Structure 1
Amino acid sequence: MTDSVDPVESASDDGVDLYDVSTWEERTSLDGLAVAIYRLIVGTARVAVILLAFLILLAIGGLAALTDLQVGVLTLLSAIPALGLAAYVYYSDVTTNEPLSLLVATFLLGVLTANFAAVLNSLARPAFQTLGFIGSVAFFFVVVGPVEETVKLLAVRLHAYRRSEFDAVVDGAVYGAMAGLGFATIENSLYITQNLGTGTEMDLGLGLIGMGGGITAVRALAGPGHVIYSAIAGYYLGLAKFNRENAGPIVIKGLIIAALIHATYNSTVGIGSGIISTLTGLPPLAAFFAYVILFDGVFGLYLIRKIKRYRDAYRHAHAEDTAHESAFRSEPTEFE
């Protein structure tokens, strides 16, 4: 929404003082107090959201990757493909490099905000379970896709979005990818913890690989999807930051695209891998790998093309600026 101007201000000369009439700025002590209270409220709300997310993380056992070496190793292994994809998005940013501190903060916020999705998904799931397959598909499209993509975007919005370092549209994709990496990491950790079972003791060796290797491999291929979806939504968040008059619809568009891709994956991965297994004779796990690689490849290419389009426009614009500067410098002055 563009900044509107009151009729008094628009009809008045620039030299007229309209403070507290139709304009406002911080002048008095009371103004300063109002500004301070507002900032305190906003800051407290952000801290409250982060604290609540951390408490949920503790409640659902999300710190197992830090407290249990077995879970930690498997979680780290499962996150490698997603980390590789996030690194690619980072290095494809043709503008200034994003600071490591902001990338790490966004990753951690992605870990924390994922817990909101865990709670909301758990609360909503029973309402869809009685509807069988149709209910599962509806659950993915109505709840899982929109909720998970929203909380990942929240991870970016809470901190990185507000910083001056977020100074280009494509930065949204970079921070979105980091939020997706954080989300995938904690999700993988929870899945691995559940599949290994609580209180199970095993050596770090063949026993660990045998019991945790299967779920680790599955989660490793699930991770890049989260990075792709949230990088797409993040790109639109970046677009919204520099198009304030249409920021709301732009953010919603990004969320719709990301949520639809996410829900489509969840709804088709079982059927798709089954078809591949039937047609090719591949074992179920191999067929699953084939389908995920194909699906992520299609939408990963969509993300890459979007980033490439921005990169080409950036380079073209800067090449024009350089050409104009060179032409200006080469023009003789009246003193020459």
Structure 2
Amino acid sequence: MLAILIFATAPVVAIMTFIYLNKKIELEPLPLIFRTFILGMVLVFPLMFIQYAFRTEGVLGSPILESIILAGLLEEFFKWFVFIFVVYKHGAFDHHYDGIIYGVAISLGFATVENIIYLFANGIEYAWGRAIFPVSSHALFGLIMGYYIGKAKFKDTNQRWCLFLALFVPVGLHSVFDVILSSGMKQWIYIMIPFMILLWLIGIRKLRIANRHQHFHMKSS
């Protein structure tokens, strides 16, 4: 049991630490990060119930539709909702890069519980694959969401458009990720690896842009 908890949480701690320490100016308050992380964890249970109900009743009737609606849209919408109503107007959210930190915290909270449940059900031998694919993908979806929410808060124009992108870019990417996993293709790994590389490239670029924006903000304030 202890080994599963360690393997399930180790990649979460590694990714969160990297995102947190990558900020070039003042670090964010840990209590708010922890709070958003916990909210992400709590989200798992109602969403699992909704997903179970839909799948049991066969409402959507297609693995592709389930990937898009039950995984991509449902999960990312509730993460976005929590971010907007808990973090967006908080005083600690005072730089563009902060959006990335809180977006990743919410997503990794969700990924932590999901990962623990999966490893308890299927075995510790899946830990490395889970770390490389589902856990890191959740973090990257949260990173992209937080990037656009940060842009919405600290950019004078196109605020609504940025909030739209903050929701639907992660929804689209998450849907593609789940469609690949649920496709049943024997060679799915050869599609997933390039997709994950692309996600990481996008994520790293967003980190650099957000850090540049906060430097500009400090100089101009």
- TM (normalized to structure 1)? 0.58
Deviation at 1:308, TM superposition (A): 0.8
The residue type equivalent to 2:124 in the other structure is: G
Aligned partner of 1:260 among 172, 176, 197 = 172
For 2:11 and 2:159, locate their aligned partners in 1 and report how far apart those are by CA, in whole Å.
32
Residue 246 and residue 318 in structure 1: after superposition, are their counterparts in 2 closer, same or farther (change >3 A)? closer
Residue 121 and residue 213 in structure 1: after superposition, are their counterparts in 2 closer, same or farther (change >3 A)? same
For 2:194 and 2:152, locate their aligned partners in 1 and report how far apart those are by CA, in whole Å.
30
Question: Which deviates more from structure 2 when the two are superposed, residues 120-129 or residues 227-236?
Answer: 120-129
Aligned partner of 2:195 among 279, 291, 295 = 295
- The sequence identity of aligned pairs, in percent, is 24
Q: Does 1:275 align with 2:180?
A: no
Aligned partner of 2:141 among 209, 217, 229 = 229
Q: Does 1:214 align with 2:125?
A: yes
Structure that is richer in helix per residue: 2
Which runs of 5 or more residues in structure 2 are unaligned?
Answer: none
> 1:164 aligns to what SS in structure 2?
coil
User: What is the count of residue pairs matched by the alignment?
Assistant: 218
Equivalent residue number for residue 210 of structure 2? 310
Equivalent residue number for residue 118 of structure 1? 48
For 2:27 and 2:34, locate their aligned partners in 1 and report how far apart those are by CA, in whole Å.
14
> 1:97 aligns to what SS in structure 2?
coil
Equivalent residue number for residue 107 of structure 2? 180
- Counting only pairs closer than 5 Å after superposition, residues 192-207 of structure 1 correspond to structure 2 as 192-195=119-122
RMSD, aligned α-carbons: 2.7
Residue 270 and residue 104 in structure 1: after superposition, are their counterparts in 2 closer, same or farther (change >3 A)? same
Mapped contact 2:12–2:108 kept (Cα < 8 A): yes
Q: Whose RCO is larger (CA < 8 A, sep 6+)?
A: 2
Which runs of 5 or more residues in structure 1 are unaligned?
Answer: 1-69, 130-134, 196-211, 277-287, 323-336
- Counting only pairs closer than 5 Å after superposition, residues 98-109 of structure 1 correspond to structure 2 as 98-109=28-39
- TM (normalized to structure 2)? 0.85
- Counting only pairs closer than 5 Å after superposition, residues 1-336 of structure 1 correspond to structure 2 as 70=1, 72-125=2-55, 126-129=58-61, 135-195=62-122, 212-221=123-132, 222-243=134-155, 246-269=158-181, 274-275=186-187, 288=189, 292-315=192-215, 318=218
